[in-house]
Structure 1
């Protein structure tokens, strides 16, 4: 049996529009080990959420289409090949998802208890009374006080942080093997963010669920994840452990992300360094490296040929021509994750 709960290989996903085909995901490959927390980071529009929702088969077809690739779940199920009915059995029971905005994801006409019980009744065959009892237990597990009274209330009666806890409760109700959290701390204040992160870490340890966290917040990455994938223009440009990405990153785009985050060990008057320019148009992606137009180290080869991934260690790889033996030596900026090496 594979040690990986998820194996994604050369995944390509496009959207048909009146203006043409948007190549949202362009050959993404990665593994997720059982019990591991993996973060996917990158700018808006880089393909993070599309990749996650494709794994869950939540993107409507049409306009989306999986052009090629494989998504193997739990070593045996090929997600791209199974029917919608078969996917419905997996989604909610073996895979759970925490969406970005709990207020629009929760049903405003149903009580919290019914929304948690729904999956338990469908996937685990519990009776209404058994599901209600289990719903109370789950709400207590995610840190909601007075769960017996809360299950009869509606989403608008909960604060933003509590609604996010409810979303986590719904996602975890059937003890899934895989949990995908899409920007789980967006729009929450820093105190509630810290509580949600701590809660997800604790639940991951208790349930042994594998987690994919999609985020812009590198603080969330440092706090939660063991491994990180950096995406740009629909592709993985670098991946490695948290320490490798923060302290020994090799791709200029990763450096740019790290330089744009405030740090406690820098002068308080120091300015953040944004990445200049804008991401490429995915209606017609460039033939070379997609980051070349924004990269201060770009060479002629970068504009002509898309680089392959260079393996730097068993866990670390990056797709950049600067890693070629004949490329000029470039030092990582000091502010990109600590002292340059």
Structure 2
């Protein structure tokens, strides 16, 4: 088996604030294989975006700092040790990123063509005409009509879906080996969300780019991701293949996420369920399982000891004391265990 293109090992990222230290990412570990689509899911504030932005070294320092861990890319870069000048050669050229809100990510004073061509000329050189031809090719790839005309337009002249397609084109401009999509459909309506997800899947199949897809909605990854990581309170609480997470989830938090997603195979009269309570304060994370205060199955050990990862298979693990051999047997809710609507 080929070596993973990305290896994240025990990554810890904190923010030094006036009131103290916010432990945003607390020991995250995962691998991404070449040509694979990996989804990272969880509620807002669980550390998904900070993890992704740390891989790109885009988290402002200060107040943030990498407290520990390793991020190895393409078996030759230790991302946490690179200087800003070294990272500038990697961003855009080898790692591309699609941000949440294209309206605030695009420069309103530049045409979209100039913004696409800027990345091409910075990393690949060549003439302006060659960069323009590549920009038109990229706009065709992302499904934009009249690409030559679109190059002359400004972001405010385009719809939300079109702007997101421009962001995808910029991210793909230099044929990156890794594409990070951070909540790429958040600011879009449901119909456009589906189009953008179909586009990402089509682009991945055509280019073979490895993708990290960050989202709070398990439903949007059902047809695209091969593997899923579930994060909570700055940690990975469960990871496995798509089928393992959708059909045989092990962690009560994952159960809660799945119960909040509409499904075609469920009774239309059944109500969607939310997870009661709120995530813990990461100024002072609990010493035990971070989900214990919201978990209906919490035991005394959950409150006092952080669980290790227990493995259900070689690819499937969850950090939950319910998987310990001595734990009482708990049946997961009947609503959980089928593919989400998508």
TM tier relative to shorter chain: over 0.9
1:21 matched to 2:21? The reply is yes
Q: 2: distance between equivalents of 1:298 and 1:80? A: 36
Which residue does 1:183 correspond to in 2? 183
1:140 matched to 2:140? The reply is yes
Deviation readout 1:91-117 (Å, 9 max, x if unpaired): 000000000000000000000110000
For 2:168, what is the secondary structure of its paired residue? helix
Which residue does 1:131 correspond to in 2? 131
Deviation at 1:241, TM superposition (A): 0.5
Which residue does 1:320 correspond to in 2? 320
Residues 162-177 of structure 1 correspond to what in structure 2 (within 5 A)? 162-177=162-177
Which residue does 1:281 correspond to in 2? 281
TM-score (norm 2): 0.97
Which residue does 1:222 correspond to in 2? 222
Contact between 2:42 and 2:217, CA under 8 Å: does it hold in 1?
A: no
Which residue does 1:79 correspond to in 2? 79
Which residue does 2:201 correspond to in 1? 201
Contact between 1:2 and 1:74, CA under 8 Å: does it hold in 2?
A: no
Q: 2: distance between equivalents of 1:2 and 1:50? A: 27
For 1:14, what is the secondary structure of its paired residue? strand
For 1:152, what is the secondary structure of its paired residue? coil
Gaps spanning 5+ residues in structure 2: where? none
1:305 matched to 2:305? The reply is yes
Deviation at 1:8, TM superposition (A): 0.1
Which residue does 1:256 correspond to in 2? 256
Q: 2: distance between equivalents of 1:105 and 1:89? A: 20
Deviation at 1:217, TM superposition (A): 1.7
Q: 1: distance between equivalents of 2:249 and 2:163? A: 36
Q: 1: distance between equivalents of 2:338 and 2:72? A: 37
Q: 1: distance between equivalents of 2:74 and 2:190? A: 35
For 1:181, what is the secondary structure of its paired residue? strand
Deviation readout 1:37-87 (Å, 9 max, x if unpaired): 000000000000000000000011100000000000001110000111011
Which residue does 1:103 correspond to in 2? 103
Deviation at 1:2, TM superposition (A): 4.9
Which residue does 2:270 correspond to in 1? 270
For 2:237, what is the secondary structure of its paired residue? strand
Which residue does 1:45 correspond to in 2? 45
Gaps spanning 5+ residues in structure 1: where? none
Please, what is the CA RMSD of the aligned residues? 1.1
Q: 1: distance between equivalents of 2:142 and 2:263? A: 31
Q: 2: distance between equivalents of 1:311 and 1:269? A: 36
Deviation readout 1:257-285 (Å, 9 max, x if unpaired): 01111222222221111111100000000
Deviation at 1:224, TM superposition (A): 1.2
Q: After superposing the two structures, state which structure 1 stretch, 113-122 or 212-221, moved more.
A: 212-221
Contact between 2:40 and 2:231, CA under 8 Å: does it hold in 1?
A: yes
Contact between 1:41 and 1:229, CA under 8 Å: does it hold in 2?
A: yes
Which residue does 1:243 correspond to in 2? 243
Deviation readout 1:285-328 (Å, 9 max, x if unpaired): 00000000000000010001000001211210100000000000
Q: 2: distance between equivalents of 1:197 and 1:231? A: 21
For 1:335, what is the secondary structure of its paired residue? coil
For 1:224, what is the secondary structure of its paired residue? coil
For 1:38, what is the secondary structure of its paired residue? strand
Q: 2: distance between equivalents of 1:260 and 1:212? A: 22
Contact between 1:2 and 1:75, CA under 8 Å: does it hold in 2?
A: no
Deviation at 1:12, TM superposition (A): 0.2
Deviation at 1:338, TM superposition (A): 3.5
